[in-house]
Structure 1
């Protein structure tokens, strides 16, 4: 018994040391990721500035090109009728043509330099983006290990014989938690985070716009900036609501869906979602109701983000021991046969359907909207 206690204490010391090392590693990765993000944002601002300078240089170069043509024509006329011009006029024609040509060469050289700088920034931005993605992936992996190490497995004691069962079960729970965190992180990164980064970028550009194009153009840019902030706020509210609709536990699936659809229409007055229910509603197990709610939510989110619909239809049919769901929109549609490795929405829905032992069918084509059909068996008990 004493030997077992000593072994347990030694194992706890080892685990604590591992957790400490992993935490330091996680902090280091996070610092690298944040520094990379800061560099990424700074390079984006510089890239926009370079692009503006390229446009200006091209415009000025085109003006010099026209002046060069006129000066060459003037020079040709002077050369042709040399005897009709005095020495000062001849010298002026030659000097003007030479001066314009030198200015044109300088502008074209500057344009070439700016284009090389732009291409270099594009490459560096791509490299930084890949580094940020790798850092995020590493942080997720470290989180899984940390959660596992800091779980009840630290107090092994007399339960060492059941370690394999506990390990498998714990890992499944941790992986599910991390997947949900990754989904939330992805939504924040692709939504509010990108919008706020755009706000930062455009706020820097307003001053440049004011200096180069005047106050009227700067005010237009400011109005667009306000709209971006408004959209970001809406997206944050949606994500907060998406974390857990409290009405689901109290009211059930159908009332919660009605409230959710009403909320979508409130925040997006340009769209219309028709909701119909057929048959007698059943209260299901909480996990089933959450999963079905998430499926419909994911469909509407994908349609809103990618389908650009103006009207959608959600139909639910309750039949004996089965619920059939149709979500349809009149958006731009897509080709289901085209491989979409990064279509996280469809992947997530298929995973949920597999867990529910149901079926899913996608019907869509470019320009003809999208229809997704679910059939899910259930047992009220």
Structure 2
């Protein structure tokens, strides 16, 4: 039994940890995205500088290429007309041509290196753009999931609270069953058992009275004994009626509710139960009628015991495919936002209504009484012809 018990606190902790981990993961992904964007901007700036350098090197290279062609023509002319130039002029022509050739070679190498660096940056920029897109997509997905979870956190909390209430409800059912057994045992002991014991004593007394005082005195005692037996019988019937009204099986829901209303007014002096039935009554399956009877019984009991009501109105309305039950009282009412021990009865009623696939609505304010509405669908499979 213990192994199947739901630890609600652990479920809440797991859910909170899951949301926190996802939120931290979103922050980490966002950090990666921002770092990638910063690197992207830096690389774009570097690429712009490199492109300017490439443009400058190409312009310089074009100039050096023109100068190299010119120096080569000059060197060719000097070499061809060697006798017309001095040795110094020949040397200068040769050095100029060689210097321009070296500068042009360096220029071409620098241009190649700049182009390689530019291409490498372009590839890295493309990879960064892909990383940024993926990071943004992941951030959006995680944000959507977190938003979904956190927006539904209240519903999850309500579901967990419902699970906790059901768990507590199951425990309270066991306790209530034990309390009911104690109450029943006490009622039988204090009521019919004591009365029957008195009947036994009185019967012996009647026999003695008849012997000692004659039949007239014995007859008087017999009348008193008859009244005691009648009271004992009424008490036994009351106990049996509280366990399960036999009239439900014989007469149906509406007559049983009428009889119950009258019985309550007999036991609760000063209280008035106003019962009204609208529409054509239908006989329902036995377990359905019992459940509906218990709902009304619980409402009346709550109104009298917890609400200190003196008047309770019960209205049953039969529609084509729906049955409406309204129980209204003029008691002290209660705050629906406050959860107290008395909510055990409300939880029990909600459980019954859920089993009947119906709806339950409670309207109450402090000082203005309470109204409970049950709307039960009348499915064909629960109606007894």
Does TM, normalized by the shorter one, top 0.5? Answer: no
Higher radius of gyration, 1 or 2: 2
What is the TM-score when the length of structure 2 is the normalising length? 0.40
TM-score normalised to the size of structure 1? 0.40
